[in-house]
Amino acid sequence: MTMERVVELEGRPLRLRLTGAAERALARRDRPLTAVLELYFSCLIRKRVVFLEGETAGVEASPGLWLDFRPVMTHACRVDEQAGAPPLTDFPLARRAAFTPRWARLDHDGAWRGEFGW
């Protein structure tokens, strides 16, 4: 069963869907979990959800679960993935609200997984 709720992120409503497995995994936790909705600007745009154990950032979306939005960039575009991931820095958006996600879905099947969009 999927649980859905609306939370305010960056001053905008975001529809959050947690699968039943994610709800059960959150209920078993004794430390907070932050799901960072990361929008990555470089040679291309990439979306990913990064899970930070024991941290609280952004807004509390559910007991023990926090959501944060972070646009990031690199200073150089690397095509060669073998060279390792370049360091990330915050990306200053002039119209941040235009890029803030409108929905996110989190699941847990032994590991945390997530996706988001507009």
Q: How many CB atoms lie within 10 A of CB 20?
A: 12
In a domain, 83, yes or no: no
In a domain, 67, yes or no: yes
- pLDDT above 60 (res 82): no
In a domain, 25, yes or no: yes
Q: Note the pLDDT tens digit of each residue in 16-42.
A: 999 999 999 999 999 999 999 999 887
State the total domains in the chain. 1
What tokens appear for 109 in the block?
């099947």
Q: How many CB atoms lie within 10 A of CB 108?
A: 20
In a domain, 79, yes or no: no
In a domain, 24, yes or no: yes
- pLDDT above 80 (res 46): yes
The span from the CA of 10 to the CA of 58, in Å, is: 8
For the chain, what is the mean pLDDT?
Answer: 88
What tokens appear for 60 in the block?
């509390």
- pLDDT above 80 (res 81): no
**pTM of the predicted structure, to 2 decimals:** 0.84
In a domain, 109, yes or no: yes
User: What range does the domain containing 52 cover?
Assistant: 3-74+88-117
